[in-house]
Amino acid sequence: MKLLKIFILLLILSTGFADAQFTKAELQVSGLTCALCSKATEKSLKTLPFISDIKTDLLRNTFILTFKNGEAINFDLISKKVQDAGFFVNSLKTTFNFDSVKLSSNTFSYGADTFRLMNAADKPLTGDVAVTLIDKGFAPKSVSKKYLNQITDAAPANGGRIYHVVI
């Protein structure tokens, strides 16, 4: 019985941390010229295990990605799948829930990765906030260059990747 109570307590505590995650993303792809191009990209993205649903907007060349709850998101894989289909990521704006995340020195962690906010002046962030990835491969060169010219990030202690984002 004591073991059951401990298990239930751990379950309750772990579900409180599950709120801190990426929930969806708007992916704009450049180079799409027809519905078949869009379909090829969508088919490539559907192979990713952390994506639960994809909605396509052919007029804006965007894909609305819904992520599976509790699954780790790998943004580099999203970019790779788009490139493998023969296209390029023009922008990737994702929604992150900051309710149980501590922002320290304009950075936050998700899984093994570190996210550095490039335009936040230590603002308190709560709830769902749209963040845009600005690293090479996720944004046009002009956007990346604007923010990333003087960056000298050291590798994160947990061995993950550093992503640069703007709000």
Mean local confidence (pLDDT), 117-128: 77
In a domain, 11, yes or no: no
In a domain, 5, yes or no: no
In a domain, 117, yes or no: yes
In a domain, 24, yes or no: yes
pLDDT value at 53 more than 90: yes
CA distances from 42 to 61, 84, 92 (A): 11, 12, 15
Which domain range does residue 144 map to? 20-166
In a domain, 77, yes or no: yes
Lowest mean pLDDT among 7-11, 64-68, 71-75, 138-142: 7-11
Q: Which residue has the higher pLDDT, 81 or 147?
A: 81
In a domain, 13, yes or no: no
What CATH number does residue 70 fall under? Answer: 3.30.70.100
Q: Which residue has the higher pLDDT, 102 or 135?
A: 135
pLDDT value at 43 more than 90: yes
Domain total of the chain: 1
In a domain, 2, yes or no: no
Strand ranges, E, within 51-99: 51-57, 62-67, 88-97
- On average, the pLDDT of the chain sits at 82
DSSP state of 72: P
In a domain, 148, yes or no: yes
Are 167 and 130 in contact, with CB atoms under 8 Å apart?
yes
What is the share, in percent, of the chain residues with pLDDT greater than 70?
Answer: 80
Kindly report the length of the chain.
167
Q: Which two tokens stand for residue 80?
A: 């790779």
The confidence band for 126, taking pLDDT boundaries of 50, 70 and 90, is confident
The confidence band for 122, taking pLDDT boundaries of 50, 70 and 90, is low
What is the distance between the alpha carbons of residues 20 and 142, in angstroms, rounded to a whole number? 31
pTM attached to this predicted model: 0.80
Q: Give every CB contact of residue 121 below 8 A, 6+ residues apart in sequence.
A: 106
DSSP string, 1-27: -HHHHHHHHHHHHHHHHTTSSEEEEEE
